[in-house]
Amino acid sequence: MARLEKTILCIDNHWNELISRKMFLESNDYRVLEATSGDEGLKLFVDHRVDAVVLDYQMPGMNGDVVAARMKQLKSYIPILLLSAYGPLPEKKMKAVDTFLTKIPGIEGSPICSSGLVRQRPKPFFHRWFDTWKGRHQGVRP
């Protein structure tokens, strides 16, 4: 039997942002796994079936670009959305990510929502992005 919910792994060391993002995605019918560090996120990524990853860039211990590179080595077909409050990152930091969004300072909640990319409940940004990504990478699974 096919799974009805897509599973999104969210990784962010800022608890309030992580929980806000989790609540937003769950309200749009996603199952959400959450981690507060790169190491914890990698463990969940290996141990669970994940359909996409939403990952913060700046974290203690291991930045998001390093986490993304390790994830792509394990499962290159999983789309990764990298978030950062620091604006555009150097190209070398973006090699393992599929999409980048800049967080908007001072706004609680999901940068996916607050960036204005969510238009209508039936097809919010993340659905559209995920569908587009899948369409471009059909048949790439190992």
- Which tens digit of pLDDT belongs to each residue from 82-134? 888 776 766 777 677 888 777 765 544 444 443 332 333 345 566 667 677 66
pLDDT of 44 reads 97
Neighbours of 40 (CB within 10 A): 15
Q: What is the maximum alpha-carbon separation in the chain?
A: 43
pTM of the predicted structure, to 2 decimals: 0.73
The per-residue pLDDT for range 2-55, each reduced to its tens digit, is: 555 789 999 999 898 899 888 888 888 889 999 999 999 999 999 999 999 999
102: which strand partners? 84
